[in-house]
């Protein structure tokens, strides 16, 4: 009599089940991590607690005030630039000697003494800049001082600039206030070839008066 073969039961292999579950868990974890990292990057690029920066909006009154200040101060600045680079007319010492006090006596219809010249400079520039221009504008000591007679004197160490420099004959300027107390001024001059040369200087409101922050030339 033939013997019947027993059919094997299709059971679940525990080892295979563990490997499958582990693979599923890893896959789900990777998807969750990807979603979180992608989402956080999008939030960084689309949301911000920082306020947006807005450009300063000047009133017409402020614009008018800065333009008037530039119109008044720039021609005076040009005169100071000439005084400091070309020098004022002065009296020579007898026999071509150097002055014992270190200063030639200036011949000026505008300034009778150093205080008058000093006050003129202080009306144009901020306190810090005026002090520098009066004491050591170019790193070689003062250009002007008081001679032994009490008059305005030109330093005997001064050497006039031989450069032609820029022309102020047809100067143009543009004022751009950047705050209630500061204003950028673009000054357009001409070189020897009649090309435009732009200079930039700041106007600073100091003690209620607009002043230039540096010498322009």
The pLDDT tens digits for 68-116 are 999 999 999 999 999 999 999 999 999 889 999 999 999 999 999 999 9
Nearest Cα neighbor of 91 from 153, 9, 25 is 153
- Say yes or no to pLDDT of 3 above 70: no
Q: Which of 131, 128, 127 is nearest to 142 (CA)?
A: 131
Half-sphere exposure of 135 (CA within 13 A, CB side): 6
What ranges in the chain are assigned the alpha helix state H? 14-46, 60-85, 114-124, 127-135
Q: How many whole angstroms separate alpha carbon 177 and alpha carbon 169? A: 25
**Has residue 193 got a pLDDT over 50?**
yes
Q: In whole angstroms, what is the distance from residue 134 CA to residue 170 CA? A: 28
**CA 213, CA 205: separation in Å to the nearest integer?**
10
Give the CA radius of gyration of the chain: 39
Does residue 6 register a pLDDT over 60?
no
pLDDT at residue 55 in the model: 86
DSSP label at 95? G
Report how far residue 114's alpha carbon sits from residue 93's, in angstroms, rounded to the nearest whole number: 19
CA distance 101 to 123: 28
pLDDT value at residue 36: 41
pTM here is 0.74
Six token digits for residue 16: 């295979």
Tens of pLDDT, residue by residue over 119-130, are 999 999 999 999
pLDDT band at 149 (very low <50, low <70, confident <90, very high): very high
Q: Give the single-character DSSP code of 90.
A: B
Question: Angle, to 10 degrees, between the axis of helix 114-124 and the axis of helix 127-135?
Answer: 140
Give the number of other CB atoms < 10 A from CB of residue 19: 11
Q: Cα–Cα distances in Å, from 208 out to 66, 68, 183?
A: 12, 14, 14
CA–CA dist 148, 145 (Å, integer): 10
- Mean pLDDT value across the chain: 83
Q: What is the pLDDT of residue 51?
A: 53
């Amino acid at each position: 009599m033939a013997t019947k073969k027993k059919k094997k039961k299709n059971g679940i292999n525990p080892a295979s089940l563990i490997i499958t579950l582990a693979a599923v868990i890893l896959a789900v974890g990777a998807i969750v991590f990807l979603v979180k990292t992608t989402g956080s990057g999008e939030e960084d690029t689309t949301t911000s607690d920082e306020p947006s920066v807005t450009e300063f909006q000047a009133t017409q009154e402020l614009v008018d005030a800065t333009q008037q200040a530039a119109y008044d101060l720039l021609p005076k600045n040009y005169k100071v630039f000439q005084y400091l680079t070309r020098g004022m007319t002065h009296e020579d010492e007898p026999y071509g000697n150097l002055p014992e006090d270190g200063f030639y006596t200036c011949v000026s219809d505008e300034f009778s003494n150093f205080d008058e010249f000093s006050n003129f400079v202080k009306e144009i520039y901020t306190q810090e800049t005026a002090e520098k221009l009066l004491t050591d504008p170019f790193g070689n000591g003062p250009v002007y001082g008081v001679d032994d007679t009490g008059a305005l004197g030109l330093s005997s160490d001064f050497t006039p600039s031989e450069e032609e420099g820029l022309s102020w004959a047809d100067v143009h300027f543009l004022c751009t206030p950047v705050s209630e107390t500061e204003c950028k001024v673009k000054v357009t001059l001409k070189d020897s070839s009649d090309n435009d040369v732009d200079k930039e200087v700041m106007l600073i409101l100091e003690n209620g008066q607009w002043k230039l922050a540096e010498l322009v030339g």
